[in-house]
Structure 1
Amino acid sequence: MTDTLTDTDYTVLNAVALKKMATSAQISAATDVAEADARAALDRLAAQGAVVMVGDAALPSDDAAEQLGRAAADRYAQLREEPEIHEMAERFEVVNTQFLQTIGAWQLVEVGGKKVANDHSDADYDGKILDRLDKLVARLSRLIEVLEARDPRFRAYVRRFADAGDAVNRGDVDLVSSPVRDSIHNVWFEFHEDLLRTLGRARKE
């Protein structure tokens, strides 16, 4: 398996690794790669042994994470040395902690001294949490702009956050934290994993 990945192939393989399983349509929705180009990239990656195709869906091979790690080290060697990037990463850790606390508050509420599942019957409570999430996503989007200036592929995260946020504001609150949709929580999780790979760092929490 070759370690040489084009920009498109890296973006597509990275998306497959983040999602664990993805079709070309799902990859296109999560990136700025056209679906036809994503499908062609999957064909190349399958031929290289980087992904395994199961019907229309691609799964990362056992070697995919290592290959992506080596490719990221090469692609982002200069970026990893930039003080502005290190500052951005440290600021992200602060925002990430606040985000995890906010998602926890969205999913669980305290009743009688115990944490129970939020049934979302308290509109005022939920409204305060959603307002906090909006502010955190806005802060993260500004941090992503620092990466986007170095690699345009990161702009897809800002778009996905905006799409999920718009849907939530229209009443589709499932897109706050659904584990099976392109929710704010899922997009945030994927960005975090992507950032760690980009910077060659390990997860703190």
Structure 2
Amino acid sequence: MLTAMTHASAPELSVLHAVRVSGVAADTVVARRAGIDPGTASELLRDFEAYGWVTYVEFGGTSGWTLTEAGRDRDSRNLAEELDRAGARNAVEQAHKEFEILNGRLVRACTDWQLRPAGDDRLAANDHSDPRWDGRVLDELTVIGAELTRLTGALAGVLARFGGYAERFGAALTRARAGDGQWVAGIGVASCHAVWMELHEDLLSTLGIVRGAEPGSR
């Protein structure tokens, strides 16, 4: 539940930032990600296109809006101003530190979902024939999901746009437990890994950290 101190982002920031964290996204995806009605999202996207902040791309069967360099710069300025205005820097910095600790566990879990060492082949693909192996991975993701709920709950208490990550992660995990393995680390769906990567980008961009420049990054 959001507290009275929660800062709600302006629709303009929400839409532009939704494009950033999504990478490439259609109008409906942007609207859902930004938490606003599709008509408003589409109108803003066309305005942003006129400003040179977004462009529509099509490649390999994928299409949608993506940020230009000018759009990324604009989003970064918006985020910095919002962070100061909301007085949320300390909370986001603390959440980022906690996220980095969990990140290693998430990466290992997704790797274990994709690979299962066999004999001398440590990089053998996981054929998902061992329910105990897969069950261990799903149990670890469940624990990570609980930590994510706590972490994003604290974040959403100061910046409302951080709400929803835990719910989306949980929804993906539920599908994976129901037998659809693509929802762990699949591409093209809101898998556990995809949701996690979006939150990572959200934290980095909010704090103005370049990906790969974090302590311990190689």
Whether TM-score is above 0.5 comes out as yes
- Aligned partner of 2:25 in structure 1 is 22
In the alignment, is the contact (CA less than 8 A) between 1:30 and 1:160 conserved in 2? no
Aligned to 2:43, which of 37, 40, 48? 40
CA positional deviation for 1:104:
1.1
- Aligned partner of 2:6 in structure 1 is none
Instruction: Tell me the SS of whatever aligns to 2:73.
Output: helix
1:158 pairs with 2:161: no
- Cα 1:54–1:202 change in 2 (3 A) is closer
- Aligned partner of 1:113 in structure 2 is 120
- Aligned partner of 2:178 in structure 1 is 170
CA distance in 2, matches of 1:85, 1:20: 22
CA positional deviation for 1:158:
2.2
1:8 pairs with 2:11: yes
CA positional deviation for 1:29:
3.3
- Name stretches of at least 5 consecutive residues in structure 2 with no aligned partner: 1-8
TM-score (norm 2): 0.83
CA positional deviation for 1:143:
0.4
CA positional deviation for 1:96:
0.8
- Aligned partner of 2:81 in structure 1 is 74
Instruction: Tell me the SS of whatever aligns to 1:180.
Output: coil
In the alignment, is the contact (CA less than 8 A) between 1:21 and 1:58 conserved in 2? yes
Aligned to 1:181, which of 189, 194, 199? 189
- Name stretches of at least 5 consecutive residues in structure 1 with no aligned partner: 1-5
TM-score (norm 1): 0.88
Divergent runs of 4+, >6 A: none
Aligned to 1:58, which of 54, 65, 71? 65
In the alignment, is the contact (CA less than 8 A) between 1:50 and 1:63 conserved in 2? yes
CA positional deviation for 1:51:
0.7
- The amino acid across from 2:13 in the alignment is Y
- Aligned partner of 1:88 in structure 2 is 95
Instruction: Tell me the SS of whatever aligns to 1:22.
Output: coil
Per-residue CA deviations over 1:175-196 (Å, capped at 9, x if unaligned) read: 1101111111001001001111
Higher relative contact order (CA 8 A, sep 6+): 2
In the alignment, is the contact (CA less than 8 A) between 1:103 and 1:177 conserved in 2? yes
In the alignment, is the contact (CA less than 8 A) between 1:76 and 1:198 conserved in 2? yes
CA positional deviation for 1:54:
4.7
1:97 pairs with 2:104: yes
- Aligned partner of 2:157 in structure 1 is 149
CA positional deviation for 1:127:
0.7
CA distance in 2, matches of 1:148, 1:130: 26
CA distance in 1, matches of 2:34, 2:69: 23
CA positional deviation for 1:42:
0.8
- Aligned partner of 2:141 in structure 1 is 133
